[in-house]
Structure 1
C-alpha cells in the first residue's frame, strides 16, 4: 500500500534500508516442522492495533523518552571513536526499522531487539509500542503547506518468498509498509529498482542506497524519513560573511557564517559551560543548537541525557540575541550491525536468529545493517538525508546588549518534532568545511 503524500521541498532526509539475504541452515535442536502432530507451529494470536482513544499521553511520553534514551546511547557509541569527526544520523529511522523487524522476530531474538532499543515488555505492552510508531508515522506524514515531512517503509521481497499473513498485515497496519516484488537473482536490476525507489522518495537526495547486492538476498527493508522546512525567521543572505571556524586548538577553517539578531529561546549552563538555542522552523519543528565553550565538548557530551534535555525548556529565556550559525553540509555513515551488537542485539545477526514470524521458518538472519545520512544548513532552512541498510540471509543570554552566540567552534544540533516530543535527527559539527 504505497503512501502518497504531496511534497514540494525538503530540509532533512533520512533513510533506513534493511536487506534480507537468506541461505538454508539447520538450527540444531529446532524441529518446528514436526511439532504439533506434524503440523507447523501455529501462529501466535493476531496482534491487535491500538484502538482510537488508547495509548494515553503518559504512555506516549514514556515511549518518546525511551526513544530519546536510545538516541543518546547511540550517540555515545558513535562518538567513542577517539578521532573527532562530524556526526549525523536519524535515530527515528533506525528505531523504526528495528521495531518493524520485531513483528517477524520470535523468542530470544525478539527479546534482544526490544531490549537493544530500550523497551522492556514487562513495563509496556508490545501492541502499545507498535501503536506508538503507527501514531508517529501517521502524525509526521500529515501534509501541510510549509514543512514537508514524510516517513515510510518498503519491503523489496524475492518473488518466491512466502510471507506469513500476520507479518504482512502487521507491517501495513502499524508501519504503512508497501511490498515490492523483486528478482534478486538479477542483482543489478534489483539494485536499480531499490535505488530508484529511494531516489524518488528522497527527492533525489540519496541516489545509491545499495551497491554490491548479494544475489542470494531475499528481502530488503527500506525505511525513509524525508523532511524539509524553512526557518521561522530566515537568515538574511546579505549578512552572511566568510569567517574562521576553530575546529581545535591547531586547526582553523574558513566558513560562510550566517547572522541574525532576533528573539530566541536560549540559556547558558554555568556548571557545564555551554549555550543552548532553540531555532524554530515553521510549525512544530525546531533545531536545538548546543554550543559548548572552548574545550568543554567532552564534558557536555558525557552529560547529555533525556533528563538534561527536559530541563532546558523551562529554564530558557525568550530574549533578543545575536546568533551566528555556519552554512554547512555534513554526512555520516555507520555500521548499525556493530552498534546494535554493542547494545546486546546479537542473535538477529547470526545463525541463532529466529525471524520465523516473517516466513514461518527459522531460516533468516540480518546480514548487513548500514546507516547513511546527510545534513545541509542554509539561510532559508535545513536539509538532511540518511539511509540505513540491513541485509538478511538464510542462517549461515543578557538583556541590555543582546548576547552573542557564535557557532565558530564545534557544536551539536538536534532536530525535534515538538508535539510528539521526538528527536528526528542529531548532528555533531566538528568541521563544517568537511562534508
Structure 2
C-alpha cells in the first residue's frame, strides 16, 4: 500500500499589512486578487503583491511539473519565488522579444497587469516577508556582482534598487578564486549557513552575476517530543525501504478528506500566523494529486477543515538539491536570453550581453521543533466526509510546498522521495 503525504507551510507575517499597504485588511485578501474577477465587497485598491500571486503560483506549478518530469524518482525541492523574483528583476534590463518571453514564462500577461505593478508587487512582497516582527522568519533579498571593468546603465542600477532593493558590488571576475569566495560567503551569511556554496565554478569572462537568496525558519506551535522519535521504515517504492527517524504527535488537528485532491489533509500550526498542511494521497494517486494542485486549493482547505483527534507520524528530513535552470526555462519559452538574440540593452545600453548560466540550490530540514529552508538562484552573464483514521503515518514519498499565507505566495516547493538522500 502506498502512503504519500503533501506538506504545505503557511507562513503569515505578524503585522497588519494595512499599516504598510492601503487596501490590505485581512489574510484572505489575496484570494480575491485574481485576474479574472473581483467581488464587489473587496476594495479596488488591491495591493500589487496580491496581483502577482496568481501568476507566481502558475509559474511554480509549471516549473514543478517540468522538474518532476525530468526525474520523478528523486527528491525535489526548490524556491519558485526565488526564481520568479530574479527573472522579474532581469526584465528591468530586457527589451523586445526577450522581455516578452520572460514575462510569458513567469505567467504575466501585460494586457491584464502593468509592468510597474509587477515590479511593485515584488517590492511589496519582499517588504512583507522580511518584516522583522514575525515568529515565522523569512529573509529574501537580491544582489548584483558586477565586474569592475563592466559598465552598467545608471537607470538599471537605480531600478533594481528601487523595486528589488538589490545590493550592487564591484568585483574582479579575473580573480575567480577570491570572487567566488566572496559571493559564496555573502550567500552563506544571508541563508544562515544553509547554502554554503552558491556557485561551484566561475569563468574569468563573466561580466555580471545576479542572485536572489531566501531563508525560512518556523517553529511548531506544539513541538514534537524527541523522546517519541523512533527509527521506522520509509517505503521509497515497491522494492526500496530505508530507515528514517519518525516523529510522533497526537491530539486535535484540523482534518478533511479532499476527494478532488484524492487525499487526507491535516493542518499542523506553527507559532505565529503559520501552518503546515500535510496531504496523504490515496493509494497510487501521487500523479493525480500533483495534477489537482491549483491556485485556490489553500483557501478551500482552510474553509473546510474540522478538528479531529488523530495520531501523526512524520519523518525528520534533511534534503539538499541543485538545478541547472537553463534547459527548464527554455522549455518555458525563455530562449533568446541565452543566445545571440538576447536583448538586454536595458542593462548596458548594448545588445551584446546574454545569460550564460542559471543555477538554483535549495536546502530543507524538518525536525521536532520546526522547519528551516533556504535557496539561492544565480544568473550568470557573459561578453460526504470519510471516516478519519486514528493513525496517519507518513512513510512514503511526499510533496511539500512552503507558502506565505497572507500573500498567497509559494516560497518553496518539492517532493521527498527519500528523507535520507541528501
TM-score, length basis structure 1: 0.84
Structure 2: 5+ residue stretches without partners: 1-8, 11-19, 24-43
SS across alignment from 2:69: coil
Work out whether residues 285 and 415 of structure 1, in 8 Å CA contact, stay in contact via their aligned partners in 2. no
Aligned length: 385
* Structure-2 change in CA distance of 1:59 and 1:169 (3 Å): closer
For 1:24, the equivalent position in structure 2 comes to: none
Work out whether residues 413 and 427 of structure 1, in 8 Å CA contact, stay in contact via their aligned partners in 2. yes
My pick for the range that moved more, 93-102 or 313-322, is: 313-322
* Shift >6 Å, 4+ stretches: 397-402
Q: Is 2:149 the partner of 1:165?
A: no
Q: Is 2:393 the partner of 1:406?
A: yes
Cα distance between partner residues in 1 of 2:256 and 2:47: 27
For 1:429, the equivalent position in structure 2 comes to: 416
Cα distance between partner residues in 1 of 2:401 and 2:152: 38
Matches within 5 A, 1:129-168: 129-144=118-133, 146-168=135-157
For 1:199, the equivalent position in structure 2 comes to: 188
SS across alignment from 2:278: strand
Deviations 1:293-341, CA, capped at 9 Å, x for gaps: 3321112112222244443222222333212110011122112111111
Q: Is 2:301 the partner of 1:312?
A: yes
Work out whether residues 232 and 244 of structure 2, in 8 Å CA contact, stay in contact via their aligned partners in 1. yes
Superposed displacement of residue 144, structure 1: 2.3
Work out whether residues 294 and 409 of structure 1, in 8 Å CA contact, stay in contact via their aligned partners in 2. no
Q: Is 2:241 the partner of 1:252?
A: yes
Cα distance between partner residues in 1 of 2:386 and 2:145: 56
Cα distance between partner residues in 2 of 1:265 and 1:61: 26
Superposed displacement of residue 253, structure 1: 1.1
Cα distance between partner residues in 1 of 2:219 and 2:320: 20
For 1:228, the equivalent position in structure 2 comes to: 217
For 1:19, the equivalent position in structure 2 comes to: none
1:345 paired residue among 315, 327, 334: 334
Matches within 5 A, 1:14-413: 53=22, 56-57=45-46, 60-81=49-70, 83-144=72-133, 146-270=135-259, 272-394=261-383, 403-413=390-400
Superposed displacement of residue 99, structure 1: 0.4
My pick for the range that moved more, 53-62 or 329-338, is: 53-62
SS across alignment from 1:313: helix
User: Quick check: which has more Rg, 1 or 2?
Assistant: 1
Work out whether residues 255 and 327 of structure 1, in 8 Å CA contact, stay in contact via their aligned partners in 2. yes
RMSD of Structure 2 on Structure 1 (CA): 2.3
Cα distance between partner residues in 2 of 1:204 and 1:400: 44
Cα distance between partner residues in 1 of 2:385 and 2:311: 11
Deviations 1:21-51, CA, capped at 9 Å, x for gaps: xxxxxxxxxxxxxxxxxxxxxxxxxxxxxx9
Cα distance between partner residues in 1 of 2:170 and 2:48: 36
Work out whether residues 338 and 355 of structure 2, in 8 Å CA contact, stay in contact via their aligned partners in 1. yes
Cα distance between partner residues in 1 of 2:258 and 2:400: 16
Superposed displacement of residue 281, structure 1: 2.0
Superposed displacement of residue 276, structure 1: 1.9
* Structure-2 change in CA distance of 1:154 and 1:82 (3 Å): closer
Work out whether residues 289 and 414 of structure 1, in 8 Å CA contact, stay in contact via their aligned partners in 2. no
Cα distance between partner residues in 2 of 1:145 and 1:270: 34
Deviations 1:211-260, CA, capped at 9 Å, x for gaps: 22000111111211011111122111111111111111121111111111
Work out whether residues 284 and 417 of structure 1, in 8 Å CA contact, stay in contact via their aligned partners in 2. no
